Amino acid sequence: MRQIQSGQLSTGTLIPSETELQVIYNASRTPIRQALDKLAAEGLIARRPGRGTFVSNTPPGSPVAALSGFSRYYRHHYREITARTISVQMKVPPPDIAEFLEMQPDQPTTHLERLRLVEDKPVAYLKSILAPQFAPGPFEENQTFRSMAAFLLENFFVRCTQAKEEVDVILPLREDQKLLEIDANHPVLQVRRKVYDETGEPILSSRYIVNSAIWKYRTSLAV
């Protein structure tokens, strides 16, 4: 990560193989593989079957965020990113979320409220509802993790592989104003995300409120 952030490993650089990394770092295969999984989950590297693993091709200094996530946009300022968990609760989700997560209507599950910050300035307020297999304990023990995908992989051995999002521009609710330190007339992005694991099972539903003056979205279309 340090080598990527410093530019020592530039965009498109081929990462050494797992066998080579074992020799370089005098480490066994398991921690090497876990480290690569974390870097991939954070969008810093990309695996290309049959070709190898490369430094991600997200352009440095891009003024907008790719739909693939917060960390990709800020990866060149990664040390400035912090996160803070506001609340961890076991609650019954709304009926539409319970249906998406394939839960019983009255079954409680883990609800998280978190803030993402850059240079201690709040950028995004997140409300997440997780599938029942994710117990609240690990979230209570570590309330400053930065990447949900990396956290689920490390603590539950579940890999996030697909997300579907809907993005709206809205005026913030009073709660959003307070946490993001903005006024009532400041437009924000509302991002609703549904996340699936590598088997296609739904594992997470989130609502992000994003300070649109700091973080914007971009996507590419084939026409």
- Bridge-partner residues for 65, per DSSP? 217
C-alpha pair distances (Å), 175 with each of 125, 138, 167: 10, 26, 19
Cβ–Cβ contacts within 10 Å for residue 94, how many? 12
- Bridge-partner residues for 79, per DSSP? none
How far is Cα 182 from Cα 123, in angstroms, rounded to an integer?
10
Q: What pLDDT shows up at residue 107?
A: 95
Contact 64, 73 (CB under 8 A): yes
**Amino acid, single-letter form, for residue 131:** A
List the domains of the chain with CATH numbers. Answer: 2-55 (1.10.10.10), 82-218 (3.40.1410.10)
In 3D space, the residue among 120, 124, 126 whose CA is nearest the CA of residue 139 turns out to be 126
222: Cα separation from own chain's centroid: 25
Virtual torsion, Cα 202, 207, 211, 214, nearest 10 deg: 0
By CB atoms closer than 10 A (0-12, 13-18, 19+), residue 104 is: exposed
40-51: pLDDT as tens digits: 877 788 887 788
Retrieve residue 200's tokens. 């296609």
Contact 42, 150 (CB under 8 A): yes
In 3D space, the residue among 186, 74, 203 whose CA is nearest the CA of residue 151 turns out to be 203
Spell out, as residue ranges, where the chain has pLDDT lower than 50: 58-68, 222-223
Q: What pLDDT shows up at residue 78?
A: 54
Q: What pLDDT shows up at residue 138?
A: 96
